[in-house]
């Protein structure tokens, strides 16, 4: 099979690795001259560790990452609302880890042996001819492929070509990310929730911490604008333990700004083109599941391609991946909604049920990556019941 992977991010590199493991050697093109360089951190819940293990890279990554034993949610004054021990949720999968994004990229890329990598290259068009995809490249070359795998991120050119009607949707938050010196001794994944603002810090090793801050902003206000990090707003809203981190942002380490967007699609396959990772299902980062979902996509698609013909493999990929990704996107939306609740409702809700809600939202993802639709539906129904019961109890208290 002749396959082209478009995009050398987490999804594209994991795809190339998973195909190599199945004895399939692909072409991979990446638009940037030397692959992605973005300097921020990544939190990897336990299902990422399991995917890395299946890619044969867990030991290497674990040696370079920080194990995260607990996730703590605090209010803006530093009072504890909920704490979850990660092993209580992820024991069957693996450790939760945190690391610089560049480390995961480099490890995936260095793991490739035979994949034909081309940087500084993009595509200018994809046509279908029977069961082949005819790809035109920006350097003027043209090639025929049995399959084109779009792993080119949220603004995917492959998706624009195969599904021109699909556009990323703004989720209502903008965010800033940076890596800085850990001046406060952050031990765990620690988030502080303000009114319409979030401040999160995660240790990533070598005395450094990854900081993520977000803010609810209307779409009109933010359109086409790059916002400088409003440090003073965060300093006045948040107190210890995390606020001192805002005073030590190194000038040589840029603060990355972004609008948080998502891509929601019914189908990721068109003819001999398939989408994986953010190109197919970019989500709000509130579950930190982007890297896990991208690597799981790669493993499932590679296994299907190695064991059946392309048409059947693409159908298997859709059937196995869609329910799981739908679940993640629904949970992200629910978390984003909860963070926007007024504090008089959000604080008692998290104190009462934060731990239960956390466990419920991740539990289905601990199941094997070929989990059936039925099993995911069971979790979805249960989650709705929990939300209904808690919601009714709250409403009852205020009527």
Ligand X SMILES: Cc1cc2nc3c(=O)[nH]c(=O)nc-3n(C[C@H](O)[C@H](O)[C@H](O)COP(=O)(O)OP(=O)(O)OC[C@H]3O[C@@H](n4cnc5c(N)ncnc54)[C@H](O)[C@@H]3O)c2cc1C
State the residues that interact with ligand X by CB under 6 A: 6-12, 29-32, 36, 42-44, 122-123, 151-153, 157, 175, 177, 258, 260, 277-279, 285, 288-292, 294
Report the nearest approach of ligand X to the CB of residue 280 (Å): 8
Report the nearest approach of ligand X to the CB of residue 105 (Å): 8
Report the nearest approach of ligand X to the CB of residue 309 (Å): 26
**What are the DSSP E strand ranges found in the chain?**
3-6, 27-29, 41-44, 66-68, 70-75, 80-85, 96-100, 116-118, 123-129, 132-137, 142-145, 147-150, 169-181, 189-193, 197-205, 208-216, 256-262, 269-270, 273-275
C-beta of 7 vs 354, nearer to ligand X? 7
C-beta of 119 vs 382, nearer to ligand X? 119
C-beta of 27 vs 152, nearer to ligand X? 152
Close Cβ partners of 174 (under 8 Å, ≥ 6 residues apart) = 214, 215, 217, 222, 227, 257, 258, 259, 260
Report the nearest approach of ligand X to the CB of residue 38 (Å): 8
* SS3 track for 62-82: HHHCEEECEEEEEECCCCEEE
CA distance to 6, 258, 313, per residue, from 292 (Å): 19, 21, 21
Report the nearest approach of ligand X to the CB of residue 154 (Å): 6
Report the nearest approach of ligand X to the CB of residue 33 (Å): 10
C-beta of 25 vs 255, nearer to ligand X? 255
Report the nearest approach of ligand X to the CB of residue 243 (Å): 20
C-beta of 64 vs 387, nearer to ligand X? 64
C-beta of 11 vs 58, nearer to ligand X? 11
- Sequence-ordered alpha helix ranges (H) in 22-162: 46-54, 58-64, 86-90, 101-110, 157-162
C-beta of 188 vs 349, nearer to ligand X? 188
Measured N-to-C along each axis, helices 290-307 and 310-339 cross at an angle, to the nearest 10 degrees, of 170
What is the tally of helices (H) and strands (E) in the chain?
13, 19
Q: How many angstroms separate the CA atoms of 4 and 302, rounded?
A: 13
């Amino acid at each position: 099979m002749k396959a082209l992977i478009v995009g050398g991010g987490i999804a594209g590199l994991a795809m190339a690795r998973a195909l190599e493991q199945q004895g399939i050697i692909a072409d991979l093109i990446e638009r940037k001259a030397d692959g992605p360089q973005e300097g921020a951190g990544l939190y990897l819940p336990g299902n990422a560790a399991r995917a890395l293990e299946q890619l044969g890279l867990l030991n290497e990554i674990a040696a370079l990452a920080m194990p995260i034993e607990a996730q703590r949610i605090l209010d803006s004054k530093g009072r504890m609302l909920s704490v979850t021990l990660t092993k209580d949720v992820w024991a069957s999968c693996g450790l939760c880890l945190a690391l610089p994004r560049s480390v995961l990229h480099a490890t995936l890329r260095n793991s490739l042996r035979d994949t034909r990598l081309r940087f500084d290259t993009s595509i200018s068009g994809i046509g279908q001819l029977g069961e082949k995809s005819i790809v035109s490249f920006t350097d003027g070359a043209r090639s025929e492929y049995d399959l084109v795998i779009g792993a080119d991120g949220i603004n995917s050119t492959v998706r624009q070509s195969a599904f021109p009607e699909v556009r990323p949707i703004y989720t209502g938050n903008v965010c800033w990310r940076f890596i800085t010196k850990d001046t406060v001794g952050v031990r765990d994944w620690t988030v502080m929730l303000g009114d319409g603002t979030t401040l999160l810090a995660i240790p990533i090793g070598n005395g450094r911490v990854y900081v993520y801050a977000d803010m609810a902003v209307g779409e009109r206000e933010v359109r086409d604008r790059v916002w400088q990090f409003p440090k003073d707003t965060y300093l006045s809203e948040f107190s210890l333990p995390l606020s001192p981190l805002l005073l030590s942002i190194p000038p040589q380490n840029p603060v990355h700004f972004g609008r948080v967007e998502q891509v929601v699609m019914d189908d990721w396959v068109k003819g001999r083109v398939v989408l994986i990772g953010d190109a197919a299902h970019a989500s709000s980062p509130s579950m930190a599941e982007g890297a896990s979902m991208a690597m799981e996509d790669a493993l499932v698609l590679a296994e299907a391609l190695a064991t059946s013909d392309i048409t059947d493999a693409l159908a298997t990929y859709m059937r196995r991946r869609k329910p799981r990704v739908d679940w993640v996107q629904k949970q992200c939306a629910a978390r984003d909604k909860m963070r926007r609740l007024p504090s008089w409702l959000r604080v008692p809700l998290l104190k009462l049920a934060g731990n239960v809600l956390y466990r419920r939202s991740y539990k289905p993802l601990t199941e094997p990556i070929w989990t059936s639709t039925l099993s995911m539906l069971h979790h979805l129904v249960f989650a709705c019941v929990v939300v209904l019961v808690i919601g009714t109890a709250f409403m009852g208290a205020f009527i």
